[in-house]
């Protein structure tokens, strides 16, 4: 098996296959020598957490007998079942797993191109961008305006922009209390909205303003030089502008022919096999096929279900129908956590939410319960990173 991408999806998949059948040879193609995790990176932006806590190496994976190939995959020769690496070496596969995460769309917001990220960081792939946004917040004067632009669905981590606004508010309240945060949104509703809004009113009264699409939240263009963000109704000059643009599956998905016109990869909900190219499976953020949100929790759950399916297929068995769980924790302050959970199973060719099986934290939770959820979120991060990389 060849796996493209050593993030939550690809790393979890490689390990799950080895657990199910140690006899299967697995190559994990990932150019980076260490992975930088996005979950909890909003806490790095807020100065609550050190960036080093986001880094994970591949030694644990290699100890499991998985070969880490430190190369970028540049092409897939699906007819010959081969992956071509940047150095032109070819890897043959019986089954290929494509798990490249997302790419940011630099053709979606006029003015927001690849160069604009230096002035207006997206910080939607953790790493240097995360630190840049942190530095900009540190350099900002008290009383400045922070603009966050959030994309329409689907995108990586639906509650992420709102967790980010919360934790930036936490930082500003302590260090630059006259500052404001404006969220310009390309949609009219967002994940855990009532919980976030109740938390903002309680923790950061008057500091965060959210403007949905119908009220002019859609960003129509940006000017990176002046950090100006334009909407249909006017323009906002930001001290710090965090533009989170629309996204699509990582470029190799398109090159391999598994992405469709939406930019995402349609899959069979039982085996995660591509609807477009046989013997190629897509998991994690790059895949689309129903209601599952794009999260690290989802990527890990899909990886394990896909591993079972692929091992079954290799042994000539039919894969069983999976039931997948997702839970997304968000922090509004160090001791204030909220969550949303869902269960998903195949229905009508898609991964559909099982009705009545999920839910969110209660709106009227006590402070102690919010604090407990914050510790659950931290424990979840330790568990998932240990499972994928530890």
Specify the residue, 100 or 230, whose C-beta has the smaller distance to ligand FAD. Answer: 100
Asked if residue 35 binds ligand FAD (CB under 6 A), the reply is yes
Specify the residue, 192 or 230, whose C-beta has the smaller distance to ligand FAD. Answer: 192
Question: Of 248, 316, 205, whose CA–CA distance to 100 is shortest?
Answer: 248
Taking the complex as a whole, the smallest distance from the CB of residue 330 to ligand FAD amounts, in Å, to 7
Is the CB of residue 89 less than 8 Å from the CB of residue 232? no
Is the CB of residue 247 less than 8 Å from the CB of residue 155? yes
Asked if residue 4 binds ligand FAD (CB under 6 A), the reply is yes
Asked if residue 267 binds ligand FAD (CB under 6 A), the reply is no
Distance CA 82, CA 94 (A): 9
Taking the complex as a whole, the smallest distance from the CB of residue 123 to ligand FAD amounts, in Å, to 7
Site for ligand FAD in 115-134 (CB under 6 A): 124
Report H helices in 245-366.
Answer: 251-256, 296-314
Taking the complex as a whole, the smallest distance from the CB of residue 351 to ligand FAD amounts, in Å, to 15
Distance CA 289, CA 264 (A): 9
Asked if residue 32 binds ligand FAD (CB under 6 A), the reply is yes
Residue 316 tokens, joined? 């000539």
Site for ligand FAD in 36-55 (CB under 6 A): 38-39, 41-42
The contact mask relative to ligand FAD for 214-253 (x = CB under 6 A, - = no) is: ------------------------------------x-x-
Is the CB of residue 84 less than 8 Å from the CB of residue 90? yes
Taking the complex as a whole, the smallest distance from the CB of residue 335 to ligand FAD amounts, in Å, to 16
What angle, 0 to 180 degrees and rounded to 10, lies between the N-to-C axes of helices 8-20 and 367-389? 60
Is the CB of residue 320 less than 8 Å from the CB of residue 308? yes
Asked if residue 6 binds ligand FAD (CB under 6 A), the reply is yes
* Residue given tokens 């129908």 in the structure block: 321
Taking the complex as a whole, the smallest distance from the CB of residue 208 to ligand FAD amounts, in Å, to 17
Is the CB of residue 146 less than 8 Å from the CB of residue 172? yes
Bridge pairing between strands 240-243 and 67-69: unpaired
The contact mask relative to ligand FAD for 321-360 (x = CB under 6 A, - = no) is: -------xx-------------------------------
Asked if residue 162 binds ligand FAD (CB under 6 A), the reply is no
Is the CB of residue 122 less than 8 Å from the CB of residue 104? yes
Asked if residue 299 binds ligand FAD (CB under 6 A), the reply is yes
**Which residue, judged by CB position, is nearest to ligand FAD in the bound state?**
7
Quick check: bond before 154 cis, omega within 30? yes
Beta bridge pairs of residue 219: 231
Specify the residue, 30 or 185, whose C-beta has the smaller distance to ligand FAD. Answer: 30
The site for ligand FAD (CB under 6 A) is made up of: 4-10, 29-32, 35, 38-39, 41-42, 72-73, 99-101, 124, 156-157, 160, 250, 252, 284-285, 294-297, 299, 328-329
């Amino acid at each position: 098996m060849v796996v493209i991408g050593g993030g939550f999806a690809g790393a979890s998949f490689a390990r799950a296959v080895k657990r199910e059948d140690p006899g299967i040879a697995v190559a994990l193609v990932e150019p980076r020598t260490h992975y930088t995790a996005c979950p909890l990176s909003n806490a790095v932006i807020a100065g609550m957490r050190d960036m080093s806590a986001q880094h994970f190496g591949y030694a644990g994976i290699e100890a499991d007998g998985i070969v880490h190939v430190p190369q970028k995959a540049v092409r897939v020769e699906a007819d010959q079942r081969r992956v071509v690496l940047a150095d032109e070496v070819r890897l043959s596969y019986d089954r290929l797993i494509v798990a490249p995460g997302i790419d940011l769309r630099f053709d979606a917001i006029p003015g927001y191109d690849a160069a604009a990220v230096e002035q207006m960081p997206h910080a939607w792939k953790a790493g240097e961008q995360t630190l840049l946004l942190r530095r900009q917040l540190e350099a900002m004067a008290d009383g400045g305006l922070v603009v966050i632009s959030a994309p329409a669905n689907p995108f990586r981590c639906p509650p992420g922009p709102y967790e980010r606004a919360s934790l930036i508010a936490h930082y500003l309240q302590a260090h630059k209390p006259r500052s404001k945060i404006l969220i310009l949104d390309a949609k009219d509703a967002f994940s855990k909205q009532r919980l976030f809004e109740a938390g903002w009113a309680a923790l950061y009264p008057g500091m965060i303003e959210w403007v949905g699409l119908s009220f002019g939240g859609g960003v129509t263009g940006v000017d990176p030089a002046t950090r100006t963000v334009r909407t249909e109704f006017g323009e906002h000059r930001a001290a710090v502008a965090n533009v989170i643009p629309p996204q699509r599956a990582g470029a190799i998905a398109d090159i391999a022919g598994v992405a469709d016109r939406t930019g995402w990869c349609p899959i069979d909900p039982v085996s995660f096999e591509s609807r477009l190219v046989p013997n190629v499976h897509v998991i994690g953020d790059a895949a689309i096929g129903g209601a599952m949100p794009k999260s690290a929790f989802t990527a890990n759950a899909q990886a394990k279900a896909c591993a079972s399916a692929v091992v079954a297929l290799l042994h000539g068995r039919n894969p069983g129908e999976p039931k997948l769980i997702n839970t997304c924790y968000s922090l509004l302050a160090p001791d204030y956590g909220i969550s949303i959970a869902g269960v998903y199973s195949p229905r009508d060719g898609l991964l559909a939410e099982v009705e009545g099986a999920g839910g969110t934290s209660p709106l009227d939770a006590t402070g102690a319960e919010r604090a407990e959820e914050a510790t659950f979120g931290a424990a979840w991060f330790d568990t998932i990173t240990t499972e994928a990389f530890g």
